[in-house]
Every structure is written in structure tokens, then in C-alpha cells.
């Protein structure tokens, strides 16, 4: 299916519907990576439904919507897996998944599981600002405009003054994406670090879910 980042950002989207036995409820920001993993491993028994990536700007909405979707689809599938990490829900998403008997991704957020949760924790990078492939492509929509920096660039130091570097965690990098990310670091007055992570823990956990 040909779908744009804009659609993944702002609407719920069914990206694969193979009448499979397993449903993946995922963040739209992970859609391209999940579809690649599914194709790479030939997982034809998986269906993928993505919720709008823009929910990350309102994380309090993620848990109730996930619970609603589990209830809506549970009778149709043998298993449902939630492809979100905690993602700012303060443990509520994990508690809900535990109560409903549904497994979800480990880790606090996608920056952690793309890096590899263990490696991310060891780095202890409190002054790093992270971008993934998706966020490089959607920087204006997810960072610059929501913070009002397109209208008030004088606020850059207030928002980013405690950061020292921008880390681009690349899943499927291109020269253009690397240049974009470097440009955003310059724009924010931060050092730039390019870190090719691939899919990190996402691929391993998805394989485990696929195999039941």
C-alpha cells in the first residue's frame, strides 16, 4: 500500500489486512519499519492497524484508544499485540495491556528500543535530543510547529538550551535524511551525531510476537 507520512501522522490506517490470525496495533510512526520487517520475514498471518502518530503530542489519549481498539477487534483475532512502548503514558498503557492480557513492546519509547533498550539505558544521555527517520521527515509537523518555533524562533534557546546534541537514530538512512537531520541540529544550535541503529529491539520483539 502506498501511503504518505502525512496520512500516518493524522489518521488511523489499516496497512495490511491479510485476514491473518494476529493483529498488530501500532503507532503510525513505526509503520514503514513494521511493514519492512513483516515483508522480510514473510509474516502473512499478521494484520497491521496503525493509530495516528500525532497521538504522541497527546499521550493521555493513547491508552484509552488502544483499549477501545482491542475491544473492537478481539473477537476476530487469535492474538493482538500492541506495538507501542510506554510513550509518555506514565505506565498506564502497560497496566492496561497487563489487565487485558495483551503484550506490548518493552521500553520507555521508540528511541530506546531502536537503540536497543539495554544499550540506551547504559548511555544515560540526558542532554540528547533524538530524531528517527520518521521524525526527520516530519520535523516541522511534530517539533517545530507544535512548539511555535515557526512563529517565535526566539524561543529556541528556552526549549533546547539544556540539550547538547541532536542524535539522529537512523533506521533506513539516505544522504538526504542525514543532511536534513544535520540541518535541524544547526537550526537548534546543537552538536550533531549520526547513529545508525536499524530496527533495534523492534525486529526481535516483532518476530517473537509473530511466532506466538
Q: Does CATH number 3.40.50 belong to domain 5-111+199-211?
A: yes
List of residues 6+ apart from 142 with CB closer than 8 A:
9, 53, 54, 56, 57, 135
From-to residues of CATH 3.40.50 in the chain: 5-111+199-211
Cell numbers at residue 132, please?
A: 528517527
The pTM of this model reads: 0.91
- One digit per residue, pLDDT tens: the chain, 212 residues? 455 665 556 556 666 665 679 999 999 999 999 999 999 999 999 999 999 999 988 999 999 999 999 999 999 999 999 999 999 999 999 999 999 999 999 999 999 999 999 999 999 999 999 999 999 999 999 999 999 999 999 999 999 999 999 999 999 999 999 999 999 999 999 999 999 999 999 999 999 999 98
**Residue from 189, 197, 202 nearest 168 by CA:** 197
Element (H, E) at 79: strand 79-83
Classify the phi-psi angles of 134: left when phi > 0, otherwise alpha if psi is within -120 to 50, otherwise beta.
alpha
Amino acid at each position: 500500500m502506498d501511503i504518505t507520512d502525512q496520512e500516518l501522522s493524522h489518521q488511523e490506517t489499516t496497512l495490511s489486512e491479510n485476514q491473518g490470525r494476529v493483529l498488530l496495533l501500532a503507532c503510525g510512526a513505526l509503520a514503514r519499519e513494521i511493514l519492512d520487517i513483516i515483508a522480510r520475514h514473510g509474516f502473512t498471518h499478521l494484520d497491521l492497524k496503525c493509530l495516528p502518530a500525532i497521538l504522541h503530542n497527546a499521550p493521555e489519549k493513547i491508552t484509552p484508544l488502544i483499549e477501545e481498539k482491542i475491544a473492537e477487534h478481539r473477537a476476530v483475532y487469535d492474538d493482538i499485540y500492541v506495538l507501542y512502548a510506554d510513550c509518555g503514558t506514565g505506565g498506564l498503557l502497560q497496566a492496561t495491556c497487563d489487565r487485558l492480557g495483551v503484550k506490548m513492546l518493552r521500553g520507555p519509547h521508540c528511541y530506546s528500543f531502536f537503540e536497543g533498550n539495554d544499550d540506551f539505558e547504559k548511555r544515560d544521555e540526558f542532554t540528547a535530543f533524538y530524531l528517527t527517520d520518521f521524525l526527520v521527515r516530519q520535523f516541522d509537523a511534530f517539533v517545530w510547529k507544535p512548539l511555535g518555533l515557526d512563529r517565535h524562533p526566539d524561543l529556541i534557546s528556552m526549549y533546547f538550551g539544556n540539550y547538547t546534541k541532536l542524535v539522529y537514530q537512523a533506521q533506513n538512512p539516505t544522504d538526504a535524511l542525514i543532511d536534513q537531520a544535520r540541518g535541524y541540529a544547526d537550526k537548534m544550535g546543537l552538536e550533531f551525531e549520526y547513529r545508525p541503529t536499524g530496527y533495534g529491539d523492534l525486529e526481535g520483539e516483532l518476530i517473537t510476537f509473530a511466532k506466538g
